[in-house]
Amino acid sequence: MTAAIEVRQVHKRFGALQALGGVDLEIDTGEFFALLGPNGAGKTTLINIIAGLTLASSGCVRVMGHDVVADYREARRVLGVVPQELVFDPFFTVRETLVFQSGYYGLKKNGDWIDEIIHHLDLADKVDTNMRSLSGGMKRRVLVAQALVHKPPVIVLDEPTAGVDVELRQALWRFIKQLNRNGHTIVLTTHYLEEAEALCNRVAMLKKGNIVALDSIRNLINGISGYLIRLRLSPDTLPAALQPLMSSRDDVYFFLAIKEYSQLEIVMAALRVAQAQILELQVLQPDLEEAFVKITGNAGSPEFLPVSA
C-alpha cells in the first residue's frame, strides 16, 4: 500500500541552524495523525517541505507516492495544506478566493463542493465579504476552505486552532473528522495536546528537529507514564514493601508509580500483610501532556496551553 506521506531522512539547514536533523516518518492513508512539539521544533518546516514550499537540504518526501520535488504538480494535487500564517489576497471576496483557488487546480465546475465547504465552515454569510474585512477567526476558516477546494486525499493543518474561538474549533473538528471518516488522511500540528488526544490515533513528537517519539497515543501514555496510585492510609505510614514504588507524598496522600494495572494486586497484598487500612485509593490516568513532558522535557513550558485557555 502506498503511504499517504513518506518522509525519508529529511535534513533542513537554515545557515548554521539545523531545523530538521534526519526525519523519517510514514503516515498511512486514512490516518488521523498529530505532529507535536514545542515552538521551534521544526513542525512548520517539515510541513513546508511536504507541501513543496521549502526545499529539504537532503532526503526526500512523497505524498501518495509522488515526490514533492520531482513530481511537484502531482504531489500538490493530492495535498491540501492549511498554513500556520494567515496569508491571503485582501482584495478578493471569500467566494472569489475559493473559485480562484479551484482554477489553480484546473477545476471549473467546483461550485457544489465550494458551497458544501462554505456550509460546513459556517462561512455562508461572509461569501461576498472581502478578505481584508474578515476577523482572524474567519480568515482562518477561509484558509481551511482553500486547502480543501480540490478535495485532496491528504490534508495537513498547521496549528489550525491557534487563537480560534471554541465554536469554530468544534465546527472545524466535526468537519475534519467527517473528512477522515470519508477516507481523507489528516495530519495536524497543535499546541493543544488535549485536542490531539481526542482526535488522533498516532502522534510523532518532534524536538529540536528530531522525532523523539512515534506511536499511538494509547501506547505513549501507557508506556511512558504508567499510572499513579493515590493512596490515603491509616495508620499514615507506607509499608516498607511499597517504598520502592513511592514517587512522592504530600500531607495526605502517598503517590505510587506503577507500570500496569496488574501491579495493583501487589500493592493490595502488601497493604493487607501490613494491616494498613485504605481510606482512599485512586488510580490516576496519565494524559498525553504528561507523556509529552516526560519525552521532551518541556515541563511547564508556557507554549503548551490547556484547551480551555
Ligand X SMILES: Nc1ncnc2c1ncn2[C@@H]1O[C@H](COP(=O)(O)OP(=O)(O)O)[C@@H](O)[C@H]1O
Q: Under the rule (CB under 6 A), what is the footprint of ligand X?
A: 14, 17, 19, 37, 39-45
Stretch that binds Mg ion, among 35-43, 48-56, 162-170, 199-207 (CB under 5 A): 35-43
Burial of 7-16, coded b for 16+ CB within 10 Å and e otherwise, reads beebebeeee
Q: Which does 19 bind (CB under 5 to 8 A by kind): ligand X, Mg ion, none?
A: ligand X
CA 224 from centroid of its chain's CA atoms: 18
Q: Which stretch binds Mg ion (CB under 5 A): 17-25, 41-49, 243-251, 283-291?
A: 41-49
For residue 41, the partner it binds in ligand X, Mg ion, none, with Cβ less than 5 to 8 A by kind, is ligand X
Q: Does 44 help bind Mg ion (rule: CB under 5 A)?
A: yes
Q: Which residues pair with 229 in a beta bridge?
A: 256, 283
**If contact means CB under 5 to 8 A according to the sort of partner, which of ligand X, Mg ion, none does residue 100 touch?**
none
Yes or no: say if 155 and 80 are a contact pair by the CB < 8 Å rule. yes
> Pattern of binders to Mg ion over 69-108, x per CB under 5 A?
---------------x------------------------
- Least distance between ligand X and beta carbon 38 (Å): 7
Please report how close the Cβ of residue 93 comes to Mg ion at its closest, in angstroms. 28
- Which strand ranges, in their side-by-side order, compose the sheet holding 202-207? 79-82, 154-158, 185-189, 32-36, 202-207, 210-216
Rg (CA), the chain: 24
d(CA 18, CA 14): 6
The entry of ligand X, Mg ion, none near residue 39 (CB within 5 to 8 angstroms by kind) is ligand X
Residue 211 sits at the vertex; the CA angle it makes with 205 and 213, to the nearest 5 degrees, is 55
Q: What is the smallest separation between the CB atom of 79 and ligand X, expressed in angstroms?
A: 18
What is the crossing angle of helices 94-104 and 136-148, to 10°? Answer: 30
Indicate the residue type of 83. Answer: P
Residue nearest to Mg ion (CB): 44
- Among residues 75 and 206, whose Cβ is nearest to Mg ion? 206
Contacts with Mg ion by CB under 5 A lie at 43-44, 84
